[in-house]
Each structure stands twice: as structure tokens, then as C-alpha cells.
Structure 1
């Protein structure tokens, strides 16, 4: 993305079009289109992008009732899509985060496992809805206009927190129908325990008998299912090819079974059944053996009917070059968190040895291989602030100043796409959101600065001054943050 890449943008609206509702002009409009072009101005009409181009081109759509926002060099971005964020849980915990101890102080210790999550318990629908709305307000302030709630369903109906049961799906649908959600939400069903065991029998029963709430078009959709295949390397619960240090074995899958072979067969059957039922399948997979087997199962499922289910790996801590190639060939996406890579690399090395870091969180290699990459927060594991996620992806620098995995750093453009248009594709919605192009939904945010001139480490300190969802302002930092006439 260059400073002179704004020329040649489509006008988008023919002569005689109605006056725009809002015109934002005199800034840097990062379209995140196929050519990553940067414009000066954008017009919004009827909840959609009406025109993108120079200030003169877009200003022609301003009428007597148009709100004209003078950006004065500020950056306009597509609305951020956090493609893996536990909205109910975040609303119940905020401002606490699970990894506060690892990301808010000194360097993490190699042999120190993550602390258990703080106790949270939501008892009623009112509690859950209050948490969802609290999350919505927080995300609006951060410029986040879409997110994926990754795992709500009957597998957690008796869960300890009350944050992940099937009732939360109905809460989301009801709030969406009433127009009370500030962000567009995609949800995944969960037929096993959160971070715990699942069984093929319970999974197949869930597929047959559980009826999720109806979609609320453009606001809430149940897209598919989530499966927890294994744990995480620092806890020595990921299923790995490498043995854990100190004779700690190789871990195993979380799926029920008497042997590795039985557990693998059950995981493959679950993935195949969900695909055959028309669902998107997202699998929490971290160990190199788990990621390899899961990608192979995705390829088998797609090979049966040719359908691109937009299936993806969640986290993907350890991915060999061969697995990355298989992901690209099968259309398997990767949804990962750069902040986790930065914070936990020493713990992974402590559990599996320094050599394991060669295949750890290979974001740049994934893109080079042709894998669809989405970056996300996993909040409340990490902060939902995407600016911190972008900074971590671009620098791979921890708060202690050390850089971990420098060979896997992304460019700013790559990181921005992984928070906007690529998550839209994960949602199956890239035709109508995820970039600032005429005809797409007017989901956008305004940064109080020029994104191209901000050092990545300083990005988290640049305020979001305006957030818009479908042309509706859901956050505005303060009167006078952006000038109008």
C-alpha cells in the first residue's frame, strides 16, 4: 500500500445519485480492496458505501443535509472483524484478561503454565445479555464492527461459567432482532466441553437434534460448529510429533477413545459429519500432529462433494511446511493470535525444545504458501484491542522488548487484511463487507492519525474516534474529534 495508490478508484455512483448521508473527506481511506488502494474520501448513503475516491469526486455527493466530516489526514479503515472473540465471556470478565500476568509485566517464564481463569458465573438471561451488550459497547469504542463467537451450545449447558451454553445463542438472536447489537455476530455451535472432552456420539446427536435460532440477516448468524481437538503445548496437552521435554510423552486428542487411533478416527468422523450437514467447521488444533490430521480430514471431507466449507484451524500453534501446503491445497484457513505467539513462545520452547519454534505460529509462511490467514484476539484471553494484535503481528515484539519469531512478521497491509477482508471471507460475507468499496456495507472506523505514518509499536495508543456499522454511528469519541461543516 503506497502513498500514491489512490488513483483510479471507481466512482461507484452514477450521476444523479441521491445526496450522501455522510461524507468523510481529506484523509487516507484504506479500502483494503484487491489492490489495497488508498483514497482521500468516502461517501455513505443508505447504510452502504456510495463512492470512494478523491475529495472532489466524493464531495460531489454532498447535499444540504449531508454530514461532512473533515478528516484532516486521519485514516479510515474498514470495520475491524475480530474473527475469534468470546463475547459473552469477555463482557463478564472485562477488564480482566486471562493472560494479564503474561502480557502486562516481565518476560514469561518457560515453565510457568497460564494461570486458571478468574471465577465467573452468569446465572440468568439478563446476566448474559448484559455481558453481550457490555462487549458491544467496548468493541464499538475499538472500531470493531463484526466478530465471531466461537463456541456456544449444549455441550456447555451445564458449564461452570454460564457463558457458553446454548441459551446464549438465543440471547444473541433476540438482541439482534431488536436491533440492540452494535456489531455483526457470527456464531459457532459447541457440542463438547469448552477446552475439554467431546465424543463422537454426543457430537452426532447434537448435529441431528439441536436446532439453533434463526439467523437475523446481516446481524447474527450461526455458521457452523467448533471442535476442541487438543489442548495447548505449554500445558503439554497438545498432540505432537515431538516428545515433550523430560519424558512427557506426546499428548493426545481430547476426543474420546481408547487409543490414539480411535481418537483420530472419531475426530475425522466428526469433521466429516459436520461438513456433510453443510456446516462450517472450526477446529481448535495446536500440536503439529493434530494440525496435520485435521487438515487431512478437511481435505477428505471437501473431496467427497467439492464444497468449500470455509473450514479453518483455530490457533495452529505448530504447523509444518507440509501442513501449510496441504492447507492451501484444501482451502483450509488459519485463525491465529499474534499476541499469544509473542507471549507464550518461551513456554512452548520449554515444553518441546527450542527446535519446535521453527514451526511455531508461521504467519508469514502461511501467507506465502497461499493459506487464508485471519488474526484475532481470543478475548478475554488477550485484549480485544486489534491495534495491539496488529502491532504484535508486525513486530513480534513482547512488552519486555524481545522479538520472538522475527522471520514470521507481517507487513502492515497483510495484518490489516487479516483483520478485515479475510475474516469477511471466513464469514462467507466478502461480497458485502470487509472492504470500503461501492455497494458494500458502510462498516468503518476512523483512527486519530495516519496509519501509514504511525510506528507499529505506537499503534495501540492511536485512538479510534469514530465507528460506524451499516452507516449508523455506534461510537464517537468526543465532539470536536473530527471537524465538520
Structure 2
């Protein structure tokens, strides 16, 4: 592999021993030298390819520690139901009808990203979707990924009638007359979809049964948006047999688009324990990481569990009884797993803390327990995080996308404490930034911008006192995110010997106003010492 020198940019290394530099040299997939331009050129030797960065920011490739890679790939080829493109039930019906007109009768129509909290009149119903088509089963995923709305054909296809019982950890929404509205919550999704795996009550089941070749093709097509955004490593936080088979197939073919860490869902605990498997395990391209658990539901869908009800008297839902969660998490930690628990509301946070205390007690000195989303910890709970070494995995894009809805539903007191990243940093924690794509944008600079700005889509403040600096946000999306994956020794910073994952952004981000950060993408992305994306050229042409 040839030697490449990137110079003429403003290098932000994320290495505390050498925080800034003029140039970076890479060779054989590793960082060769970082420092002043003459020294780096000398280390590279004659014949090195030189890339002139033109004053742009140069950083380690972004690490996204909570990104549903395969589901994102699926969403990129499905109907886009995201706001503001779809701002009402009428818009949704029109978009589904247009898709139905070009889809053979009987085939499923899938849409992603519906945010019905912004719809005049509230949630759409199956009767409204029936106006779009009765010849196709239709499923529209809520923006949270924890809910969906379907039409009557979808219910009929699965043989679901008015007498269906709500499963543990989920529900079929009914109207005042007790009739199914078509809205399904959390684990009830499993009864509706043609799913590839049975995950029971261990989480929302969006593991749709689709042809392996189709899924693999969509995964490979996703390389372009990820690399264009500067993402070089992701951690998929909900992996079943379906995802693992596709990732392994792409890994074997050399077409896995980015470095991929997988978090197997907790329904696999006994099976993996029986064969003695625990993460971290794998290579630097595909590996097992932590194990994923669910405590409560979603803020966006009204199923997060708080001490005080919110919104339309939402009380929240739990996937496991508190004592069951403690037992599951303890058993995983005893088997050698790092653990990550999806948790949003403050009451659920208390249950998760009980589980993490049990895990840390059997995990040794470097447990690194994760709390996925970490929506509303109380100040006392944040102090407990510090004693346990908790890693809060934040997604401030939610604050931008839905902050106004959070204020309306939760009230000022609770809404402005959501994802209290400043408080977590001040407590000595290492909170990380992530996208939760497919739920929100996969572009890291949008996430960074929203962590810095703490503003809603409508322009209002959302916990402004919890804002972080640009440097803190970049660190949380690179080296600290690598720490959450137990990979900080090989990725996340630019230092000699580390894997040569480098992004040259298309601006000098330190010189930009905060309001312009979200528009920044990659000008060049290097993965393992190879230029995998260059602005103006498709990834397949590089």
C-alpha cells in the first residue's frame, strides 16, 4: 500500500500528547507520522502521494457508537416519511399512494421516519392508510423505531383481529370503542411483521425477513452516505442472527462499508454463553462489542418510564420486570460481556442503575457499562454514574428534531434536562455522541452541531446550559466513542501506529459559526489508509 501525506490542513488529532499538527502520513493501513510538515514529509520519504487539504479540518474518522447500519441501509431504499417532507396524515397517505402506484399488488410497502407528534390531528390510523391502498400491506415505522402504523391489509396478512392480546412489553393501540387503530407499540411489532428472528420481549422487532442478497446489496450501497459523512466506524446496537449473517457475508467479500462493531441483543444471551462467546471478539473490521438490553420504551413515542406521567398521561412501558433486568444484565456481565441498556425515563434509569451495579460487581475494574440514549437521568443518578464508570450514549439530534414536542409533553423542568451532557462531563464521565440512525441523520457534524447549539428545529432553546464546546463534541464522536467500543487503542485519534482512518472535512470547522456546523461533510475520507471517498467522486470510483 502506498504512502499518503495529508498536509496544508488544520489537523485535530484527538491525541492529548500531540493535540494539533500540520500534516499526517499513513502507510500500510496505519498512521506513520503526525506533526510538523517537514518532519512528516521526511518520514514519508520520496514518492509519497501528497494530498493538499487547503486549510480544511483534518480529524480521525468519526466513530458512531449507536448506529443501526443495516436498518439504515434498508431505510435508504424505502419510502421516506420523515418530517418536514411528511408533515401530516394527508402527506403520508399521498406518499404511500404514490409508492403503491408503482408497486405490484400484494408486495409490502415500507416507510421510515414518521413523526406523528407533529401531525395536525395526531396519529394516523389504518383507515387513513387504507385510503392509499388496500392492495398492499403497508407498514410505516415511527421515527423512534419503537412503533409503527399499518393498514388493514397488513393486519389481515398476519391474521390479526380485534381480539388480539397485547404481548409483554408492547401494545396494539385501540380507539375509544376498543377497535384496532393500526398503531402498534414496541414488542407488538413482532406479531405484525414477517420477521426473520423471534426476539420475544427483548426489544422492538424490526428484523424484517428479506432476501439475503437484497439486504447485502443495500448494505453495500450504504457506503456512499456513510463515507461522505466521514463515518469510518459504527456500532450496531441491536444485532440478531439476521444482521450478523449479512455483516459476515460482506466482511468475507471485502464489501463491509465501514468498520462494524455488533451488539447482540439480549435474547441471544443463553445461546452465546453456551458456546463461551463474549465480546470484544473479532478483528478490526468486524467484531462483537457489548450486549444490548432494553429497559423502557421511547421518549418520541410516549413509552419512556418516568416517575411522573407526561404528555397524554403516558406512564411508560418496561420490557422486563426490574428484577428480571437485574438478573439478565448480571448474567451477561458474569459471562464476560460489556453491557449497554436502552434507558430513557428517570424511573427506568433507577432500574437500569440497579442492573449496572450488579454487572459492575462481577465485571472487574474496567466494566465500561453503557446507557443507550440516557434520556433523563436525575442529578443524583448522574453522580451514581460516576461511581460506576457509566458511559452515557447521547443523541442530541433528537433535541433538534423533537425538542419542541419534548417541552410540550414533559414540561420545561424535565425537557431542559434531557441528555445532560455538560453535567455528565462535569461529573468526570466520558459521554459519547451518536446518531441512532436510522432514527435520525447519520451525519456526525449534524450531531456535533446539535450538541453544541442545543436548539430545536423551530429555533428555541432545549437545555442550553447542557451545551458542550466544539472540541468536546468532536472528542465525544471520535476517541471517546472509540473508548465506548474498547477500541481507543486502534481508532479515534491520529497517532503513529493507529489504524489510518482519517477524514478531511470540507471546511475549517473551528472558524465556522455554530449554526453552520451541521452543513459540513467530508471532503475526503480515508479508511485503513485507503482513500475511500473523495468529494465529487462516487465511492465506487475512488
Bin of the TM-score, shorter chain as denominator length? 0.7 to 0.9
Bigger relative contact order (CA 8 A; separation at least 6) = 1
Aligned to 2:159: none
For the aligned residues, what is the CA RMSD? 2.9
Q: For the Cα contact (< 8 Å) 1:182–1:474, is it kept in 2?
A: no
- Report SS of the residue matched to 2:403: helix
Structure 2 residue 475 is the aligned partner of structure 1 residue 417: yes
Q: Structure 2 residue aligned with 1:438, among 496, 511, 517?
A: 496
Q: Structure 2 residue aligned with 1:76, among 31, 43, 58?
A: 58
- Report SS of the residue matched to 1:43: strand
Aligned to 1:124: 211
Aligned to 1:93: 75
| TM-score, length-scaled by structure 1 | 0.82
Cα displacement (A) at 1:292: 2.2
CA distance 1:468–1:117, shift in 2 (3 Å)? farther
- Report SS of the residue matched to 2:315: coil
CA distance 1:287–1:310, shift in 2 (3 Å)? same
| TM-score, length-scaled by structure 2 | 0.74
Once residues 294 and 86 of structure 2 are traced to their aligned partners in structure 1, the CA distance between those partners, rounded to angstroms, is 28
Aligned to 2:299: 233
Once residues 26 and 105 of structure 1 are traced to their aligned partners in structure 2, the CA distance between those partners, rounded to angstroms, is 44
Aligned to 1:218: 284
Structure 2 residue 247 is the aligned partner of structure 1 residue 182: no
Aligned to 1:325: 383
CA distance 1:233–1:64, shift in 2 (3 Å)? closer
CA deviations on 1:61-94 (whole Å, 9 max, x unpaired) are 3433210112221111100011111111111111
- Report SS of the residue matched to 1:235: coil
Cα displacement (A) at 1:344: 2.4
Q: For the Cα contact (< 8 Å) 2:77–2:218, is it kept in 1?
A: no
Aligned to 1:168: 243
Aligned to 2:158: none
Q: Structure 2 residue aligned with 1:347, among 405, 408, 426?
A: 405
Q: Structure 2 residue aligned with 1:135, among 219, 222, 228?
A: 222
CA deviations on 1:367-391 (whole Å, 9 max, x unpaired) are 1112221111111111101111111
Q: Structure 1 residue aligned with 2:7, among 25, 32, 47?
A: 25
Once residues 98 and 348 of structure 1 are traced to their aligned partners in structure 2, the CA distance between those partners, rounded to angstroms, is 23
CA deviations on 1:234-276 (whole Å, 9 max, x unpaired) are 4332221123356x36334221xxxxxxx11001001101101
Aligned to 2:513: 455
Q: For the Cα contact (< 8 Å) 2:399–2:455, is it kept in 1?
A: no
Structure 2 residue 45 is the aligned partner of structure 1 residue 45: no
Cα displacement (A) at 1:306: 2.0
Q: How many residues are treated as equivalent by the alignment?
A: 432
Q: 28-37 vs 318-327, which deviates more?
A: 28-37
Once residues 495 and 33 of structure 2 are traced to their aligned partners in structure 1, the CA distance between those partners, rounded to angstroms, is 7
Cα displacement (A) at 1:191: 3.8
Alignment of structure 1 residues 94-109 onto 2, 5 Å: 94=76, 100-101=82-83, 109=118
Cα displacement (A) at 1:97: 8.7
Q: For the Cα contact (< 8 Å) 2:402–2:456, is it kept in 1?
A: no
Aligned to 1:394: 452
CA deviations on 1:215-243 (whole Å, 9 max, x unpaired) are 54110011232111110234332221123
CA deviations on 1:28-84 (whole Å, 9 max, x unpaired) are 011011267221111111111111111111121343321011222111110001111
- Report SS of the residue matched to 1:138: helix
Once residues 393 and 56 of structure 2 are traced to their aligned partners in structure 1, the CA distance between those partners, rounded to angstroms, is 29
Q: For the Cα contact (< 8 Å) 1:363–1:408, is it kept in 2?
A: yes
CA deviations on 1:399-427 (whole Å, 9 max, x unpaired) are 32222111111100010011100111111
- Report SS of the residue matched to 2:83: helix
- Report SS of the residue matched to 2:331: helix
CA deviations on 1:408-458 (whole Å, 9 max, x unpaired) are 111000100111001111111111110001111110110122121122221
Once residues 462 and 393 of structure 1 are traced to their aligned partners in structure 2, the CA distance between those partners, rounded to angstroms, is 15
Cα displacement (A) at 1:312: 0.4
Once residues 462 and 31 of structure 2 are traced to their aligned partners in structure 1, the CA distance between those partners, rounded to angstroms, is 39
Once residues 417 and 99 of structure 1 are traced to their aligned partners in structure 2, the CA distance between those partners, rounded to angstroms, is 32
Structure 2 residue 326 is the aligned partner of structure 1 residue 251: no
Q: For the Cα contact (< 8 Å) 1:152–1:189, is it kept in 2?
A: yes
Q: 465-474 vs 104-113, which deviates more?
A: 104-113
Once residues 85 and 395 of structure 2 are traced to their aligned partners in structure 1, the CA distance between those partners, rounded to angstroms, is 13
Once residues 83 and 302 of structure 1 are traced to their aligned partners in structure 2, the CA distance between those partners, rounded to angstroms, is 21
